[in-house]
Chains A and B, each alone.
Chain A
C-alpha cells in the first residue's frame, strides 16, 4: 500500500542546534516533494519544493534533500530558533496533480 511516513511525531531540540526531520514514502514515484510549516489552528505554509532530479535545495536556514533510491527526504533547519517551533509536513504528488501529506512532525525548539 502507499504510505508517507514522518518518523518522528515530535522532536525537541535546543536552540541553535540543527533540526533534522525525516520523510519516507512507499509505493509512490513522485516527480517532486514539498515541505510545509503549519502552526496550530492555521493552514499550511509552503516552504520548499524539490524535484526528483534534484539532490538538495536550500533556502536561508532551510535545507532539503531528496533521495529517490532510498525514497526519503530530509528537512534541516540550521541555527534553530524558538520561532521555528511548529508542525512540519512533507507532501508529495500522487496522480492527477493531487498532493498527499505525511502525518507531520511537531518540532519544539527550547531556549
Chain B
C-alpha cells in the first residue's frame, strides 16, 4: 500500500523558535496533501489543504502566517510552525491523496511537537 512518512517523529523546542515538519509520499505522487492537528483524546482537526505548486487553503481559525505550508513537489509538503508557543504543542499528522484511489487518503505516522 501507499506509504507516507513524516520527519521528525518527535520534536521538543523552546518557545519562540520555529519548527519544520516534513511529509513525504514514498511510493506515489500526491496531488493533494492535508495537515491535521490532534490534541490529546480529541479527533483530528483539519488545518489546511495543499496542492502541489499552489498556495495552501487554510481552515477557519488557522493562522496562515503562523503555520506555513509549502508543497514544492508531488512527494513533499512541509509545515513550519513559526514562533512556537506552548499552546502549539500537539500531534501533527499529514495525509496524502494520489487521485488514483477513489478519495482514499494515506496518513503519516504523526509528529509530536512539545514547546517548552
Contact = CB atoms under 8 A, between A and B. Distances in A.
B67 interface: no
- Helix, strand, loop or mixed for chain B's interface? strand
B54 interface: no
Chain B, interface size: which category?
20 to 34
A45 B107 CA distance: 7
Interface string A41-79: 111111001000000000000000000000000000000
Interface of A: 32, 34, 36, 41-46, 49, 89, 93, 96-104
25 contacts: A32-B102, A32-B103, A36-B107, A41-B91, A41-B110, A42-B109, A42-B110, A43-B93, A43-B95, A43-B107, A43-B109, A43-B110, A44-B107, A46-B106, A89-B44, A96-B49, A97-B32, A97-B103, A98-B34, A98-B49, A99-B34, A100-B46, A101-B44, A101-B45, A102-B43
Given A46-B105, A98-B34, 12 more contacts: A32-B102, A34-B104, A41-B110, A42-B109, A49-B104, A97-B49, A97-B97, A98-B46, A99-B95, A99-B103, A99-B105, A101-B43
